[in-house]
């Protein structure tokens, strides 16, 4: 029975004299390795040289703020619901008077935690968010010795004032 057309019969005939004295085969091998001297090296010298991330790369989470620096998140819980790994926990709170410059809407997340050891970086939270509040950046998660480190608090993920200023200046990022 023939399954594919690529099958080739194994040649089991005894070796000829040319094959038995090895030297032609060795010369052929040396030619191949010699050719590799001039090939392009595949090495990327990592910390100095970085390969660009793919446009669809999903890295560490970022909590977004609008142009005036107000948090987008309204603690609706859709991201936590969408999360297959149940890595997201949050507690909602009501915006007080005088906090309008901090939170965009009346309800905000007082506590927002992602357990990065549970997170599978699927990006469902990003998809689920109706307020554009959570994004996945192009940052690889750093390593650490303690488990506590990997429970990221809101302050760990919120984009910083510098990032905000840069985004406002360039219109992207």
Which residue ranges make up the annotated binding site for [4Fe-4S] cluster?
A: 73, 76, 79, 83, 119, 122, 125, 129
Taking CB under 8 A as the criterion, the residue among 18, 19, 24, 26 binding another protein is: 26
**Which of 15, 117 has the CB closer to another protein?**
15
Taking CB under 8 A as the criterion, the residue among 36, 51, 97, 101 binding another protein is: 36
Closest by Cα among 74, 132, 69, 73 to 101: 69
Q: Measure the CA angle with vertex 162, ends 70 and 167; round to 5°.
A: 70
Q: Which stretch binds another protein (CB under 8 A): 10-18, 39-47, 62-70, 120-128?
A: 39-47
Nearest approach in angstroms of CB 46 to another protein is 11
Taking CB under 8 A as the criterion, the residue among 16, 43, 54, 143 binding another protein is: 43
Give me 107's structure tokens.
């309800």
- Do residues 159 and 62 make contact, with C-beta atoms less than 8 angstroms apart? yes
Question: Among the residues of 21-147, which ranges form H helices?
Answer: 23-35, 78-82, 124-128
């Amino acid at each position: 029975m023939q399954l594919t057309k690529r099958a080739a019969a194994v040649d089991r005939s005894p070796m000829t004299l040319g094959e038995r004295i090895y030297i032609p085969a060795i010369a052929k091998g040396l030619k191949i390795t010699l050719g590799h001297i001039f090939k392009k090296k595949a090495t990327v010298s990592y910390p100095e040289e970085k390969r660009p991330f793919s446009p669809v790369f999903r890295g560490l989470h970022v909590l977004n703020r609008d142009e005036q620096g107000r948090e987008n998140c309204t603690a609706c819980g859709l991201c936590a619901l969408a999360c297959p790994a149940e890595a997201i926990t949050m507690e909602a709170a009501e915006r007080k008077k005088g906090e309008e410059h901090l939170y965009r809407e009346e309800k905000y997340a007082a506590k927002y935690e992602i357990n990065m050891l549970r997170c599978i970086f699927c990006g469902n939270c990003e998809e689920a968010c109706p307020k554009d509040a959570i994004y996945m950046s192009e940052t690889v998660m750093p390593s650490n010795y303690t488990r506590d480190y990997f429970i990221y608090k809101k302050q760990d993920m919120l984009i910083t004032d510098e990032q905000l200023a840069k985004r406002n200046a360039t219109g992207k990022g």
